[in-house]
Chain A
Amino acid sequence: MQEESCQTSVDLSRIAAIAGRYKDEPDQLMRILLEIQSCCGNSIPREAATVISSVTGIPEAKIWGYITFYAMFSDKPRGKYIIRMCKSAPCHIVGAQAVAQAISEYLGIAPGETTEDGMFTLEYCECIGMCDTAPAIMINDSVHSGLTPESAVELIKSYQQGGAE
């Protein structure tokens, strides 16, 4: 189910509603933030920490500290699809670099950058647990493994075609 997007202007009331759903449940902070991130264009705006703090009572600094600790969160705007390319050793020794280079060249962006149309953000990540079928990447929540430079580019193309619908 696709969350309604609040990407262009930060919809603070929506963030407050998500936080309110899990009030008084400290073990749900990760879930709150993942939901907010998915509905805020794959990033968490600075104002979100203020809003979550006022709803949950957790100090704002703690929330911001939490967001900046975990690799899966970003406070910078990212594309519709985040391509996370595994660079850990089991992927590395079976050709992850060539796959990463092919994707980077095809999209014309370096890791850490977003394509001009806002479709893709390219990132390196550590082990995604596909070691026995490496090299592997994640595109948002989908995992793709057993890649070659050629098949990786074909995969990105399929996302471009799907996204153009």
Chain B
Amino acid sequence: MMQETRIALRFVGKYNPDSIEEFCALGGYEGLRKAVEMGQKNLIQEVSDASLWGYGGAAFPTGRKWSVVAATKGKQKYVVCDADEGEPGTNKDRVIMTGDPHSLLEGMAIAGFAVGADMGYIYLRYEYPQLFPVLEKAIDDARKAGYLGRNLFGSKFCFDVKVVSGGGAYVCGEETALLESIEGKRGEPRYKPPYPSEAGLFGCPTVINNVETLAIVPSIVLNGGNWYASIGIGHHHGTKVFTLSGNLVNRGVYEYPRGITLRQLIEDVGGGCPDGHRLLGVQTGGASGNIISVDMIDFPMDVEDCAAAGATFGTGDIMVFDDTQDVLEIVENLLEFFTHESCGKCTPCREGNTRLLQLIRKIRRGDGTMEDLDTLQDLCQTMKDCSLCGLGQASPTPVISTLKNFRNVYLNKIERGGKE
């Protein structure tokens, strides 16, 4: 197996998360110290130089996000960590928070210093209840050791962190729904603009970053933006934590330089399909990612290359399925998920996912017609164009991509009326 390059996972397994002393012995919180010394402007420049992107799925440049919030005037600003890792096929953030909660806190404090925020929230999904006490203990330890609280490192900078729990709603991974949820409301996305950078949590300028993104920040501060940018393979920058799931020998969470190919991840890292089965297809990026066929996996894993290859970078999820699986059954499963998780605020998503599910079930039963394929295509486009948030805009992706990459499966079902 290829050697990993662990940066977001730098200290996972290297120290006891209960012990801030062990974390500090590894050089923990030195990034925060250096950040406070280097000043806001230089800090944001380093993060921009690093080509660090949001690793929660949207791939927005972190440096640019920070500089907007830093430039926005506001008496109160917030840093929000999106730890609502609800994307099926992704559990990297759980691994980071379980093994290295302090790097996350350090990253949040650095973000707070960069944008001028003195308060941070970790929005932790309900499904990770075991992490609640881990994070609260880490926060408490950091306060006692002087890495959170007032006048850090003798400067004017103050920063504290609070953990709040989610309630089991996938849509709260959408940033404005997440903010609503923290404010004690139903997790329904807001209309944008205004963007969270201007009017976010409680109406204040807010920077929202993913766990993985924040956990990488201390290393960038310590080693420089150019150092991180130089890690990728070829012209690619930085690393990505991938979650390998499904029909693979070596399922797990691995960090590799961006630019590693999907084939390398599946075959070299994942060990291929177990029990001598043949690879049939892969869904990349998460439940709303593209489903591609076995002949399409030779491309480097990065945002633009994935898009060009008809795949999705997203959260770095790689869900592999072998030739014992029924592609349409997987699509039906994904649509059941989206139908359940649609918040219902906008019609294209609420009704669209329900209709997509009905049509896929009809086709699977053997009652589908060629006209249904056109209806599917049309409905998917409407949802992409008209849904309020990313959930409804992206949920048709598995349908659109399988209509293209596994069209013969649909045609077989329709032509043979479901008989094999």
CB neighbors of A among B95-117 (8 A): none
Separation of A134 and B89 alpha carbons in the complex (Å): 10
Residue B299 at the A interface, CB < 8 A?
no
Are B86 and A127 in contact (CB-based, < 8 A)? Answer: yes
* Candidates B182, B251, B333; contact of A133 at CB < 8 Å: B251
Q: Does B176 contact A (CB under 8 A)?
A: no
Total residues of chain A contacting the partner, CB 8 A = 38
Question: Counting CB contacts under 8 A, is B168 at the interface?
Answer: yes
Query: A62's closest neighbor in chain B, by CB?
Result: B185
Interface readout for A123-143 with B: 1 if CB under 8 Å, 0 if not? 001111111111000100111
A132 touches B252 (CB 8 A): yes
Q: In the complex, what residues of B have CB within 8 A of residue A143's CB? A: 127, 130
In the bound assembly, the distance between CA atoms of A125 and B126 in angstroms comes to 12
Among B18-26, B219-227, B238-246, B305-313, which stretch is in contact with chain A?
Answer: B238-246
Report the separation of the CA atoms of residues A60 and B187 in the bound assembly, to the nearest whole angstrom: 17
**Residue in B127, B246, B340 whose CB lies within 8 Å of A129:** B127
In the assembled complex, the Cα of A52 lies from the Cα of B384 at a distance in Å of 40
**B334 and A27 within 8 A (CB):** no
> Known: A31-B165, A70-B169, A73-B167. Contact between A89 and B183, CB under 8 A?
no
A127 contact set on B, CB distance < 8 A: 86-89, 127, 170, 287, 337
Report how far A33 CA is from B126 CA in the complex, Å. Answer: 12
Q: Tell whether, in the assembled complex, residue A129 and residue B167 are in contact, meaning their CB atoms are under 8 Å apart.
A: no
Q: Which residues of A contact B127 (CB under 8 A)?
A: 125, 127-129, 138, 143
Which bucket holds chain B's interface residue count? 35 or more
B333 near A130 (CB under 8 angstroms)? Answer: no
Residue from B162, B187, B253, B333 within 8 A of A70 (CB atoms): B187
A118 partner residues in chain B, CB cutoff 8 A = none
Whether B283 is near chain A, meaning CB under 8 Å from some CB there, is yes
* Contact partners of B85 in chain A: CB under 8 A: 129
User: Min CB distance, B91 to chain A, in Å?
Assistant: 4
In the bound complex, CA of A141 to CA of B129 (Å): 6
- CB contacts (< 8 Å) of B91 on chain A: these are 129-132
Asked if B143 lies at the interface with its beta carbon under 8 angstroms from chain A, I say: no
Interface flag for A78 (CB, 8 Å): no
Complex CA–CA separation, A90 to B182 (angstroms): 28
Please pick, from A26, A34, A62, A89, the residue contacting B89 in the complex, using a CB distance under 8 A. A89
Q: Which of B245, B283, B330 contacts A134 (CB 8 A)?
A: B245
Contact B89 A69 (CB under 8 A): no
Known interface pairs A30-B167, A69-B186. Does A131 touch B245 (Cβ–Cβ under 8 Å)? Answer: yes
Q: With A88-B287, A125-B168 in contact, is A26–B129 under 8 Å at CB? A: no
Q: A residues within 8 Å of B by Cβ?
A: 26-31, 33-34, 58, 62, 65-66, 69-73, 87-90, 92-94, 125-134, 138, 141-143
**Contacts from B to A (Cβ < 8 Å):** 85-91, 93-94, 121, 125-130, 162, 164-170, 181-187, 243-247, 251-253, 283, 287, 317, 319, 321, 325, 330, 333-334, 336-337, 340-341, 343
Given contacts A27-B182, A69-B186, 6 further A-B contacts (CB under 8 A): A28-B164, A70-B166, A71-B168, A90-B319, A92-B333, A141-B130
8 A-B pairs with least C-beta separation = A70-B167, A29-B184, A71-B168, A88-B88, A72-B168, A131-B245, A127-B88, A26-B184
